[in-house]
Amino acid sequence: MISSIVFLIVLAITAILFYRSIRTIIKNIKLGKPLDISDQKSKRWKIMFLVAIGQSKMVKRPIAGILHILVYIGFIIVNFEMLEIMTDGISGSHRVFSFVPFYNVFISVFEIFALGVIFACAVFLIRRNGLRLARFHKPEMTTWPLLDANIILSTEILLMSALFSMNAADQVLQVRGIEHFEPTGAFLISGFLVPWFSTFSTSTLHFIESFGWWFHIIGVFAFLNYIPYSKHFHVFLAFPNVYFSKLKSATYISNMEAVTQEVKIAMGLISEAEASTEEVGRFGAKDVRDLSWKSLSDAYTCTECGRCTSVCPANLTGKKLSPRKLIMDTRDRLEIVGKGVAKEGATFDDKKALWGDYISAEELWACTTCNACTNECPVNIDHVSIIMELRRYSSLEEASTPATLNAALTNIENNGAPWQYSMHDRLLWAEGMEVPVMANVVAAGKMPEYLFWVSSAGAFDDRYKKVIRSFVKILNHLEVDFAVLGTEESDSGDVARRAGNEMLFQMQALMNIETLNSYQVNKIICCDPHDFNTLKNEYPDLGGNYEVVHHTQFLQQFLDAGKLKIGGDVFSESTITYHDPCYLGRGNGEYDAPRAILNAIPSTKVEMKNNKAFSLCCGAGGGQMFKEAEKGDKEIFIERTEQALATSCTIVATACPFCMAMITDGIKYKQKETEVKNYDIAELVALSMKL
């Protein structure tokens, strides 16, 4: 009776404390900006089952993944035994479910999983503290985060051990025929302790059984209330957070409606009277309350596993940026803001902010927006959204974009390209070639099937102009009905958007959309994966809806249809490795088309250490192409070139102008220009085409 009352009091205290912690966390998450994520419910459930319940991303690193799954499943299974412990605690019974047939078999299964949990936790402890795995010893992982992980792992081992000693003592007491301890049959794992426990007196066994029971239950209750203050809160939040994952292309960046309105007024597309009178708040995010609730939920869901940081090209090359730290900083800041708001109300202001006080410019501007971090995160956290919001604030509210990047943005604004060329020269690349220009074609009463989007790099980068010319040769050879915009094309705005200058991006986008829509363009072919991503995924938000294909996808269609015939022995002695551009691969899931084309070219093919979804960025995305790299041990493009050279290739195939510039520089840096060449896939096709 007394024991039941004590149990009920402990249970009530646990429930109240846990409820209060959860309520605080929910309140804190609600401090974020509203974001409607109510679409595609069935797809969301599927992702949740696959990623959160099925742990599909964990097994990509098999050893850690299997051990984690062992702890995860073990914890769920072992907690079935908790049901009995709770019922016994409330009713004062002992092993209330022992009447169930094969009861001892069930308990034995629980024990096998409990042993698995002990094993996995021991390995994790050794890995963290003994083997000192690099990703657990980054600057953000000292003090509390390290201690937190050790507390959790040790507690799990202790809880499971308590279960074993409780069960072993119980079995000996059963054999001795002690009242209350009904025979249940032997338990598999704790049975190994029985010979030793049999040497103890009955009173000692009573104590051990009772201590094990209370230790386990109090331990679980304490653990439950510790979790909301620990990274282990992901055991609860992972499920809803994964459900609310970003479903669009990884490289899609959401539109800023408030900016659209201003840009439309500036461009005379709407009048001030037509504009919404809703007050426009701060552009981008300075502090956590400027982020969406989903970003704040991400912050609480982080497991601090460091997988994101371990694949981040900036971090890998010694730069200060760590995507894990970015998420941990967001959570730490939110905790402080949450407490402040709870105490002082919505006007709370401690004169600090996420931007500047937690996350520095050096960290922020080192990101290439490659999305290796989001791809790797086992709970689908979206680091890039936070980075983009901070960049938007930095650019739109503070005008503190890095100077070199700013120069490129000024060029876009003045010349419609990141370089200082006149927009009237946008068709010079086509000199000496027959290239149909949309205005002329339409004036002649025709409507071409495809618009070939040349891109700023295609128009002005000397090396990439050759790629564009090769591709046009292929289009002509295949008798494709196409045209280019010529001097009517302007920069897509990709760089401006990734640099946080949403105004400039939207001006470029709306201008291009107006041109494209005036020609009723439906189908677009694009060689630059950045423009491909922007036109395909981001222009629809501003009224530009087109069927956009990357040139490798376009060529694959012709290859599959037997219309593009590739062969010859131009590259038969060559060894080709392919570098996946982030914006085509991880961003838009296209890994096969470039490889299908390369496989059709007689040559030897080799893969780099990092390929497909795990490809390493070339270092140029997210505006990096136009700015100085942040301080580090190495430039990203050198790291990637070294990976390519490690394959002993003679050709590095690329499918992106930025990648081409970076890899070419890398080959030069390594002084391998004579042995190793860099070609775009279009060039390889043009040289291998059977005419």
Q: Which residues bind ligand SF4 (CB under 6 A)?
A: 302-308, 312-314, 321, 323-324, 327, 367-373, 376-379, 381, 383-384
Q: Rounded distance, CA 578 to CA 568, Å?
A: 20
We find the least distance from the C-beta atom of residue 611 to ligand SF4, in angstroms, to be 16
Query: What is the distance between the alpha carbons of residues 170 and 194, in angstroms, rounded to a whole number?
Result: 9
Phi and psi at 520, nearest 5°, equal: 50, 45
Cβ–Cβ contacts within 10 Å for residue 20, how many?
Answer: 12
CA distances from 347 to 342, 390, 473 (A): 10, 21, 63
User: Please, where are the H alpha helices in 444-501?
Assistant: 455-460, 462-477, 494-498
Cβ closest to ligand SF4, residue 302 vs residue 430: 302
Radius of gyration of the chain (CA): 30
Quick one: which of 16, 114, 588, 627 has its CA closest to 362?
Answer: 627
d(CA 256, CA 571): 47
> What is the rounded distance in angstroms from the CA atom of residue 294 to the CA atom of residue 240?
10
CB of 319 to ligand SF4, least distance (A): 9
Pick 209 or 376: Cβ nearer ligand SF4: 376
Minimum distance from residue 306 beta carbon to ligand SF4 (Å)? 5
Nearest approach, Cβ of residue 307 and ligand SF4 (Å): 4
What does the H/E/C string look like for 503-541? HHHHHHHHHHHHHHHHCCCCEEEECCHHHHHHHHHHHHH
Provide the minimum distance between the beta carbon of 107 and ligand SF4 in the complex, in angstroms, as a whole number: 34
Which residue number, 376 or 580, has a Cβ lying nearer to ligand SF4?
Answer: 376
Identity of the residue, 140 or 683, whose beta carbon is nearer to ligand SF4 in the bound complex: 140
Nearer Cβ to ligand SF4 (17/613): 613
Report the alpha-carbon distance of residue 559 to residue 686 in Å, rounded: 13
- Separation between Cα atoms, residue 293 and residue 295, nearest integer Å: 5
State phi, psi for 576 to the nearest 5 degrees.
-110, 135
The order of strands in the sheet holding 523-526 is 482-483, 450-453, 523-526, 547-550
Closest approach of ligand SF4 to the CB of residue 369, in Å: 5
Of the pair 66, 222, the CB lying nearest ligand SF4 is at 66
Min CB(139)–ligand SF4 separation in Å:
14
| Closer to ligand SF4 by Cβ: residue 372 or 689 | 372
Which CB, 388 or 504, lies closer to ligand SF4? Answer: 388
Query: In angstroms, what is the minimal distance from the CB of 432 to ligand SF4?
Result: 40
Supply the minimum distance, in Å, between the C-beta of residue 305 and ligand SF4: 4
Nearer to ligand SF4, 184 or 317 (CB): 317
Query: Comparing C-alpha atoms, which of 445, 550, 548, 534 is closest to residue 490?
Result: 534
Cβ 302 to ligand SF4, closest distance in Å?
Answer: 3
Judge contact between 469 and 680, C-beta under 8 A: no
Q: Which among 369, 292, 371 has a CA at the least distance from the CA of 334?
A: 292
Q: What is the C-alpha separation between 682 and 471, in angstroms, rounded?
A: 6
For ligand SF4, the closer of residues 197 and 300 by Cβ is 300
Inter-residue contact 415 to 421 (CB < 8 Å) = yes
**Is the Cβ of residue 237 or residue 256 nearer to ligand SF4 in the bound state?**
237
> How distant is the alpha carbon of residue 647 from its chain centre?
27
CB of 416 to ligand SF4, least distance (A): 27
